[in-house]
Chains A and B, each alone.
Chain A
Amino acid sequence: MRVNPNPMPDLLAALNQTQLEEQQAELQISTGKSVNVPSDNPVAAALLVENNDQATFTSGYLQSVSVVQDQLATASSTLGSITSALQQALSLGVEAGGGTLAASDLAGIANQLQGIQSQLVSLANTAYQGNYVFAGTKTSTAPFVVDAAAPDGSGVIYVGNADVNDVSIGSGYKIAVNVPGSQLFLAPGNSVFLAINNLIQAVQTNTGIGTAVNAVSAASSYLSAETVFYGNATDQTQSQTTYLNAAKLQISQQQNTLGAVDMAAAASNLTQAQTDSQAALAAIGKLSQNNLFDYLT
């Protein structure tokens, strides 16, 4: 059979092909990615978009969790200070209720109790980064205003609201991040401010101190029980942080599986392509350097 006397187009096509493979391998090695354009692997390219979305959100949730943890820690430590102040008030109440103190001593205790009351109002108006933490969602104004004429006799008026903010700390996982101040400090039957105000009046008048002390004790216990919310929320954020970090690792591994180049394979592909390319070049170089005309004399 007669052969095609001009193999040049074939050789050029082969050279083109090997150079394409060479470029592909070089691109993979230089970018470290096996999917550089969607056509390299359409399914993986689509999954990488989803993967990036998950990675973005996982990092985002971790950031939110960390902010929420700071907010919870502020509220939690404030409640700790309030509980200490209440303990101090209880001791003073017990001392006042002993029945052995002079009127001037009782007046001194009443003064101290008023100091604690102010401290409690100030603590209940704690702000974190400009936001009042016990104001419900009305975080722009101090929620507790001192008013001796408060209708409930607690001596303070709550100007916050009873709303709660939820924050997502995972896909479909929301936690409440605050307890409204009215629920913490002015709960009917367990009102901290009412108990303190009653105790002050009882000491000032030296009547019913025992009952007032019991009320403070009950309010303090109630508050301790409410504090558990913050502990629980903090625990949830901590375990979620662990989970999110694990997820982040897994997402990054998935990203590698989908889109990272197998360096050994890419390097071997490159070597192979270079060898092929050189062979094609050599073939073209040697091509028909001689034909019969060279031998005619």
Chain B
Amino acid sequence: MSGLFGSLSIALSGLSVSQQEMATTSNNVANASTPGYTREVTDIAAGDPIELGSLSLGTGVVLQKIESLRDPILQIQMNQATQQNSAFDASQTQMQQIQTQFASSTSGIGADISNFFNSLQQLSPDPSSLTLRQGVLTAANTMATDFNTAASSLQTQRSNIDLSVAQSVSQVNSLTAQIAGVDQQISALQSTNQAPGTLVDTQNNLILQLSGLIDVQVIPTDQGITLATSNGTALVSGSQSFALTTQETGGVQHIMAGAQDITSSLTGGSLAGLIQIRDQEIPSISGSLDQLAAGLANNLNAANAEGTDLENPPQPGGNIFATPKAGGVGAAATMTVTMTDPSLIAASSDGTTGSNGNLANLSAVATQPLGNEQTQTPIDFYSNLVSQVGSSTANTSADADSSSLILQQLQDENGSISGVSLNEEAANLIQYQTAYQAAAHVVSTVNLLLLDAVNLGMDEAES
């Protein structure tokens, strides 16, 4: 293969490889900002030499492969970090919303409780005053209304989260179907020994998106990849995806993998964060509000029953509040002041209208344990709830911040391996252009030489 034709063939291999290299660079540049795209590099090598006696003659350049640069371990770490970060982020957003109801110390339920007991205090020097008695009922109504509002806001938020859960599940299903579809394409290419190239990027990007929703583990197998949640539920197996379903249980959507309820076993992704708020935080806070509302209503009703009202003849005090259900379930949402006539407040302990003796019993509710296994006074119980909600929100925020830093660092690391650098591509382009020009020059030179050889110097003779 030596000789001019040999040189021509070598120069052609240079042209061809340079073209492919430029195509690769061009593809990198075009995808510089494509999400999930990993930069491609060409792997070229010298062609196998031809041995001619003691001579070893080169045969040009060969493009071995076009390789996407990615670190699979980093990919797994990014998936995990995304799952964590998304869970905390989702929780944080919801907690921020919840805590606004507990934000003010001078309005809201806490202040209402203080104001209610203060209205009783104001009644005590002038217990027969209808104006002051009306003040007590007004304060009771304000308190009940704020309990209702808080409870219904929490319930509304819970319903909204429930909707998000259902939507997220359908997003999960759409993503797993896409991932399985891509996996089928990848398998088809691999079975014919073709490189899947950017399809893997597409798949990884879809898995990353899926990680934002649910905790998934990626298990590479011979038949493509398997995706499973951390409790082992398969979402994708090769080219097959398994859709999750939702089923209403106890008023909320539970997530089902086939017949298995995986709701409480999710540990990552925004679904885990949403479910944590929906099934743990909100019920816990609502439960506390119920305990508080039920305790106040029961204790104040009981205290009112110990005295007598302004009726003639005086009657034993009736209920101020509607009697809460046993155990207090739903007490905050349904707290109602049933007493409408202020003269029915049983301030008297001796049957006269001027006695304030029973107001002491009513006021004592403020300083006595709430009851129903709660040992704190109403205001202590409430302030403790405020502190719990605050701590919970602050912790979730801190978790969201730190997990976001971890994710950011992993993304940086990933970018340093897989990101397209325009400078690098430009430098490569110069190199490939120069190589192409040089090879073209060689072709041109060989062409001249061949002309000389074919014409046996006729040109020169003619001229």
Contact = CB atoms under 8 A, between A and B. Distances in A.
Contacts of B423: 5, 291-292
A49 B128 contact: no
Interface string A161-181: 101011110000010010000
**Which of A135, A137, A293 has its CB near the most chain B CB atoms (within 10 A)?**
A137
Interface string A35-78: 01111111101111111110011011101100110010000000
A232 interface: no
Given A13-B408, A64-B124, A64-B125, A42 B352 contact: no
Contacts of A165: 124-125, 127, 354-357
B371 interface: no
A1 B416 contact: yes
A10 B348 CA distance: 69
A76 B128 CA distance: 22
A212 to B, nearest CB: 34
B227 to A, nearest CB: 25
A174 B356 CA distance: 12
**Which of A13, A50, A52, A288 has its CB near the most chain B CB atoms (within 10 A)?**
A52
Nearest to B413: A4
Contacts, number: 185
Contacts of B382: 49
Contacts of A45: 102-103, 105, 386-387, 390
Interface string B385-429: 011111101100100000010001001111111011111111101
Contacts of A13: 404, 408
**Which of A3, A37, A47, A163 has its CB near the most chain B CB atoms (within 10 A)?**
A37
B353 interface: yes
A2 interface: yes
A257 to B, nearest CB: 14
A139 B126 CA distance: 10
Nearest to B355: A137
A288 B419 CA distance: 15
Interface residues of B, dominant DSSP: helix
A1 B412 CA distance: 12
The bracket for how many chain A residues form the interface is 35 or more
A67 B386 contact: no
Nearest to B116: A56
A254 to B, nearest CB: 12
B118 A60 contact: yes
Interface in B122-143: 122, 124-129
A131 B354 CA distance: 8
Contacts of A135: 354
Nearest to B108: A49
B350 A64 contact: no
B122 A38 contact: no
A9 interface: yes
Contact of A5 (B125, B353, B419): B419
A67 B110 CA distance: 26
Contact of A38 (B113, B115, B386, B408): B386
A244 to B, nearest CB: 12
A39 B390 contact: yes
A248 interface: no
A205 interface: no
B118 A37 contact: no
Contact of B394 (A42, A47, A167): A42
B383 A42 contact: no
A259 interface: yes
A39 B391 CA distance: 6
B126 A131 contact: yes
A177 B127 CA distance: 13
Contacts of B419: 4-6
25 contacts: A2-B421, A4-B419, A5-B419, A5-B421, A5-B422, A5-B423, A6-B33, A37-B96, A39-B394, A42-B389, A45-B103, A45-B105, A53-B110, A56-B114, A56-B118, A60-B122, A61-B121, A67-B126, A131-B126, A137-B352, A139-B353, A165-B125, A165-B356, A293-B422, A296-B429
Given A53-B379, A137-B354, A161-B352, 12 more contacts: A46-B390, A49-B110, A50-B383, A52-B105, A57-B121, A131-B126, A131-B354, A136-B352, A168-B121, A168-B363, A296-B426, A296-B429
Interface of A: 1-6, 9-10, 13, 36-43, 45-53, 56-57, 59-61, 63-64, 67-68, 71, 129, 131-132, 135-140, 161, 163, 165-168, 174, 177, 259, 288, 291-293, 295-296
Q: Give 3 closest A-B pairs by Cβ, nearest first.
A: A38-B390, A42-B390, A139-B354
